[in-house]
């Protein structure tokens, strides 16, 4: 029997840095909302099922304006997110009844592609946990609380983490169960949770410099350029 692959797509972010009344995942790129593009990629991939996690009071809106409007057939659940990212992920994980591997993706990253998804699935089956990422282009400084440099890590060892982040379902569920009993304020992504609470090493595989997260108005302009390039190929 083939492994069941599930994607959790997060679209519950507030987008405070966008200077817009519209949440970032619903802002339009070339006439379609940001969230549409990653959902379309997962819909057309080998993933079996998609769980969409949305903001408070947005379940009905997403059902009509995203799922039904664009005929997404793999979305099996639309779940309300929480006050923090990890609560949103947890709410999505709770909807997995039967599944072997899960890919957790930020809906504000519209340029995930089929190759990234396929390589993530290969890696997670071998290593139980993996993330896409890219080597940083700039020198990175570790600073103290007074913003004085204390360390300059070797650049070739520093990677900028992206999504999807992929895990064996039972591993990520176990990590979350432990984390929720002892929540730490410094947790920013799912790989940290698995590393910290399951002592599992996470494999890092190459993503893409185009796999940007829409966080600022400038990102939206860059996304439009990337999309036009993709559409002309």
Residues with pLDDT less than 70, the chain: 14-22, 233
Would you call the peptide bond into 164 cis, given omega within 30 degrees of 0 as the criterion?
A: yes
Express each pLDDT in 6-22 by its tens digit. 999 999 876 555 555 66
Tell me what pLDDT residue 231 has. 75
Q: Where are the domains of the chain?
A: 5-232
Model pTM above 0.85 = yes
- How many Å apart are CA 148 and CA 70, to the nearest integer? 50
Tell me what pLDDT residue 186 has. 86
Fold of 5-232: Spore Coat Polysaccharide Biosynthesis Protein SpsA; Chain A (3.90.550)
- DSSP for 30-90, please give it: TTEEHHHHHHHHHHTSS--EEEEEE-TT-HHHHIIIIIITTT--SEEEEEE--SSHHHHHH
Tell me what pLDDT residue 24 has. 76
CB atoms within 10 A of CB 207: 25
């Amino acid at each position: 029997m083939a492994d069941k692959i599930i994607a959790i797509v997060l679209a519950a972010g507030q987008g405070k840095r966008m200077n817009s009344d519209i949440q970032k995942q619903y802002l339009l790129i070339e006439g379609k909302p940001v969230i549409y593009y990653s959902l379309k990629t997962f819909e057309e991939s080998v993933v079996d099922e998609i769980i969409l996690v949305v903001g408070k009071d947005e379940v009905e809106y997403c059902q009509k304006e995203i799922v039904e409007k664009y005929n997404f057939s793999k979305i099996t659940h639309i779940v309300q997110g929480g006050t923090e990212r990890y609560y949103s992920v947890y709410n999505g994980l709770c909807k997995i009844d039967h599944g072997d591997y899960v890919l957790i993706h930020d809906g504000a990253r519209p340029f995930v592609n089929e190759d990234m998804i396929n390589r993530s699935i290969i890696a997670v089956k071998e290593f139980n946990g993996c993330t896409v990422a890219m080597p940083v282009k700039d020198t990175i400084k570790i600073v103290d609380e007074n913003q004085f440099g204390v360390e300059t890590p070797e650049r070739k060892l520093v990677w900028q983490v992206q999504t999807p982040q992929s895990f064996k379902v039972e591993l990520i569920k176990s990590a979350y169960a432990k984390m929720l009993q002892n929540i730490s304020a410094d947790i920013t992504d799912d790989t940290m949770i698995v590393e910290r609470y399951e002592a599992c090493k996470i494999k890092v595989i190459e993503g893409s410099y185009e796999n940007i997260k829409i966080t600022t108005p400038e990102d939206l302009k860059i996304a439009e350029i990337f999309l036009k390039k993709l559409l002309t190929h």
